[in-house]
């Protein structure tokens, strides 16, 4: 790679944090170069084509309720949506637990679902409304504890916690003890109440690809690993690049290696198995939650939400476990969740993601510093929350900090 004139900004990492920073800085007229170690943009949010199916790297969804969804051209993503809620199985029977505001047909089933007493169900609904519509400053002022303690404090009983909240949130938080910060879970629940979860027609990779197009293909240098960072310069295997502003937008572990001031939170892992069924067993796109004592955290016919994930009418099933599993160990559980025979499931592939996202234990450090001084900046999900929203929000903050430094007001 040539070593051109100094750039205004070098961004290390073309994940959603780095690309969010780079789009803003490019839009502001700065000369920005992004160095990405991998052969694709999007970082952890990526997909591949396999036998005509679109396979995301692990079960991932985009939530339109994220505030930073405003930075994307959502119509261009052609999102296909899941219904809000989930299917829980109790004693072998499937129950739909859906958002009554969106699925009037599911109201009766949801009211009758085995989620505890009427009072406990009302407590669950009241929690959802408070998180969904209460002012954010009030949510952030509420005493912080673990998610489980907060649910119990809110009067939500064991049945709703163990059958619905624990497996539903475990699929998002990648932990099933509900030790995650109640503050983060409040914010997360808010985005579920306010938005819908969907999949882009071309796979989750389309999100990063859209942002990268705005930066410019000639500005994003793939397969270019940055080995070291110093104020004013970065070093790749091809030599040094100088830039007065350097934004480290890598995953937490790489950020901690490049910048001694950064500490990497313990990562959460997930393993996802992909299967093909001759057709979907379900009338509507809904996630099926795992059951207590099982290994599955959730399983979903992703092609019900986004038909373009399948090349034909066959159904693509994505099933995840928090502990590493072999496909054969969970095939029967996946089949039972969908009410089909294990022999109906054709195994497509499996993917283990050991460093899927950082933990968000209390106390939540929502807006960790992004300006480290000396022209060094850091962003990534480890600076805000372990999510697409957190990555993009941290990228936006880093871009604002760079702009404030290169174009000081007055």
Ligand X SMILES: Cc1cc2nc3c(=O)[nH]c(=O)nc-3n(C[C@H](O)[C@H](O)[C@H](O)COP(=O)(O)OP(=O)(O)OC[C@H]3O[C@@H](n4cnc5c(N)ncnc54)[C@H](O)[C@@H]3O)c2cc1C
Residues that bind ligand X (CB under 6 A): 12-18, 35-38, 43-45, 57-58, 60-61, 225-226, 249-251, 254, 270, 353, 356-357, 380-381, 386-391
220-221 vs 32-35, strand pairing mode: parallel
CB of 155 to ligand X, least distance (A): 28
CB of 59 to ligand X, least distance (A): 6
Hey, which bits of 310-408 come out as E strands? 315-321, 346-358, 371-373, 376-378
Q: Which is nearer to ligand X, 226 or 262 (CB)?
A: 226
H-helix or E-strand spanning residue 111: helix 107-112
Q: How far is C-alpha 194 from the chain's CA centre?
A: 16
Q: What is the DSSP letter of 162?
A: I
Q: Which is nearer to ligand X, 285 or 390 (CB)?
A: 390
Does residue 398 contact residue 243 with C-beta atoms inside 8 Å? no
Q: Which is nearer to ligand X, 39 or 293 (CB)?
A: 39
CB of 327 to ligand X, least distance (A): 17
CB of 208 to ligand X, least distance (A): 8
- How many Å apart are CA 410 and CA 394, to the nearest integer? 25
Q: Which is nearer to ligand X, 14 or 305 (CB)?
A: 14
Q: Which is nearer to ligand X, 19 or 277 (CB)?
A: 19
Q: Which is nearer to ligand X, 61 or 165 (CB)?
A: 61
Counting Cα atoms < 13 Å in the Cβ hemisphere of 332 gives 2
CB of 301 to ligand X, least distance (A): 16
CB of 344 to ligand X, least distance (A): 25
Q: How far is C-alpha 85 from the chain's CA centre?
A: 17
- How many Å apart are CA 401 and CA 269, to the nearest integer? 32
Size (the chain), residues: 410
Does residue 370 contact residue 398 with C-beta atoms inside 8 Å? yes
């Amino acid at each position: 790679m040539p070593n051109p004139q100094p750039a205004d900004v070098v961004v290390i990492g073309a994940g959603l944090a780095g690309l969010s920073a780079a789009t803003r800085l490019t839009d502001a007229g700065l000369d920005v170069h992004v160095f990405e170690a991998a052969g694709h943009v999007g970082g952890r949010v990526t997909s591949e084509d396999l036998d005509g199916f679109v396979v995301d790297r692990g079960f991932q969804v985009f939530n339109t309720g994220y505030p930073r969804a405003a930075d994307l051209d959502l119509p261009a993503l052609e999102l296909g949506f899941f219904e809000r809620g989930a299917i829980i199985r109790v004693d072998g029977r499937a129950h739909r637990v859906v958002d009554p505001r969106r699925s009037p047909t599911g109201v009766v089933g949801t009211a009758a679902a085995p989620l505890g007493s009427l009072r406990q169900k009302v407590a669950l609904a009241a929690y959802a409304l408070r998180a969904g519509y209460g002012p954010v400053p009030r949510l952030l002022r509420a005493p912080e504890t673990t998610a489980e303690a907060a649910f119990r404090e809110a009067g939500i009983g064991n049945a709703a916690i163990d059958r619905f909240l624990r497996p539903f949130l475990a699929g998002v938080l990648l932990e099933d003890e509900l030790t995650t910060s109640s503050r983060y879970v409040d914010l997360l629940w808010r985005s579920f109440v306010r938005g819908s979860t969907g999949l882009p027609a071309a796979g989750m990779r389309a999100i990063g690809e859209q942002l990268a197009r705005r930066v410019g293909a000639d500005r994003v240098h793939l397969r270019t690993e940055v080995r070291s960072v110093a104020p004013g310069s970065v070093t790749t295997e091809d030599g040094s690049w100088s830039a007065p502003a350097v934004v480290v937008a890598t995953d937490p572990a790489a950020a901690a290696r490049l910048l001694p001031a950064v500490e990497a939170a313990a990562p959460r892992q997930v393993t996802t198995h992909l299967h093909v069924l001759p057709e979907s067993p379900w009338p509507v796109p809904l996630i099926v939650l795992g059951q207590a004592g099982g290994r599955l955290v959730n399983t979903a016919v992703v092609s019900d939400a986004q038909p373009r994930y399948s090349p034909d009418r066959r159904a693509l099933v994505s099933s995840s476990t928090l502990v590493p599993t072999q496909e054969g160990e969970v095939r029967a559980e996946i089949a039972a969740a969908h009410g089909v025979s294990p022999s109906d499931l054709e195994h497509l592939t499996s993917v283990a993601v050991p460093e899927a996202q950082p933990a968000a234990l209390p106390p939540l450090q929502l807006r960790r510093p992004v300006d480290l001084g000396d022209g060094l900046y850091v962003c990534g999900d480890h600076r805000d929350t372990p999510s697409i929203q957190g990555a993009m929000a941290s990228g936006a903050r880093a871009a604002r900090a760079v702009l404030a430094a290169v174009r000081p007001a007055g």
